[in-house]
Structure 1
Amino acid sequence: MSQIEQAQSQYETFTQSVESIIISTVNSAGIPNASYTPFVMDDAKNIYIYVSGLATHTQNIHVNPHVSVLFIEDESKSDQIFARRRLNFDCTATLIERETETWNQIVAQFKERFGELIEVFRGLPDFRIFRLTPNGGRFVIGFGTAYQISGDQLDKLVHITGNK
């Protein structure tokens, strides 16, 4: 198996190895905020987050829908702390309207993945679901093994080298 085939294989399964993402948002004054949230993902690589309206990141998404997300290997599973496997996407956030068919489907996926706590969230009016639609990203496997992600299906990996 070639290096690119190995990378492609790791890329296709990497998001299944984590249950939460780090999200970066920006407020109206341009001040960044880093936070985290559990997620579910669909086959088109759209990421769904179920978040409180009271959270800083939720308030930021309402004023600026550009969100960076980071999936990162657990420190305890990493061979080298400076080279943790990680995947980031630049995304655009869209609010999913409550009680629509799509909203109900996403709530069911959250309940399946995270259990009964989701029923509590469902009853809280400030909790909302956003679809984070990736438009590109980067997958880093280790030192010197970074790939740019592109394509309509976000399925094309291009090895990033120091060559111009």
Structure 2
Amino acid sequence: MPSFPAVLAAYQDLPTRVLSLMLSTVSDTGQPQASYAPYVIDDAYQIYIFTSGLSAHTANLQTTGLASILLIEDEADAPQVFARQRITYDCQARLLPRDTALWDAIADRFERRFGEITAMLRSLDDFQIFCLSPQAGRFVMGFGAAYQVDANDLSQLVSPPQTGPDSASV
């Protein structure tokens, strides 16, 4: 098992290595919806997604204000597909008002990370930015190594790891 500092470094590095997240939302009738979205993350671990108002997940986020997200190591980079590094967060979602300094600053971050496509998306009235605020989280380093995210400081993990049959599950 790697040292705790090595695990913490892997946790803090994973969001920089993946460009999109898996997004789970639920409709107002309880129908689950899986999707994905490119994202940017700030130093406070607030996660932002730029989504079309025409998508089901955007409507779900507006209706419920809840999301579960998964950041997961690329299969090609994983030594074992059954034990990919991953972070799950339970999030509160809020829509950022358009034509505000914060909306523009986050859209600028998307443009720096994803390039020219962002300028086109910014010009479309139906594209919106949501802030996903993690309330709880978990980092799985591999088999038998699952760590709770520190809810008081999302950049940190709680030690020691959880162990048991479900510790490698998402």
1:45-84 superposed matches below 5 A: 45-84=45-84
Whole-angstrom CA distance in 2 between matches of 1:162 and 1:149: 18
RMSD of aligned C-alpha atoms? 1.3
Indicate the percent of aligned positions where both proteins have the same amino acid.
43
Q: TM-score, normalised by structure 2?
A: 0.92
Contact kept? 1:52, 1:58, Cα under 8 Å: yes
Q: TM-score, normalised by structure 1?
A: 0.95
**What's the offset of the Cα at 1:161?**
2.1
Uncovered stretches (5+) of structure 2, i.e. residues with no partner: 166-170
- Match of residue 156 from structure 1: 157
Determine whether 1:121 maps to 2:124: no
**What's the offset of the Cα at 1:151?**
3.1
**What's the offset of the Cα at 1:107?**
0.5
Whole-angstrom CA distance in 2 between matches of 1:47 and 1:130: 8
Uncovered stretches (5+) of structure 1, i.e. residues with no partner: none
Q: Which runs of 4+ in 1 moved over 4 A?
A: none
Whole-angstrom CA distance in 1 between matches of 2:26 and 2:64: 7
- Match of residue 94 from structure 1: 94
**What's the offset of the Cα at 1:156?**
2.9
User: Which protein is richer in strand relative to its size?
Assistant: 1
SS of residue in 1 equivalent to 2:60: helix
Q: What amino acid is the match of 2:96?
A: I
Whole-angstrom CA distance in 1 between matches of 2:38 and 2:100: 21
Contact kept? 1:4, 1:157, Cα under 8 Å: no
Aligned residue pairs total 162
Q: What amino acid is the match of 1:21?
A: L
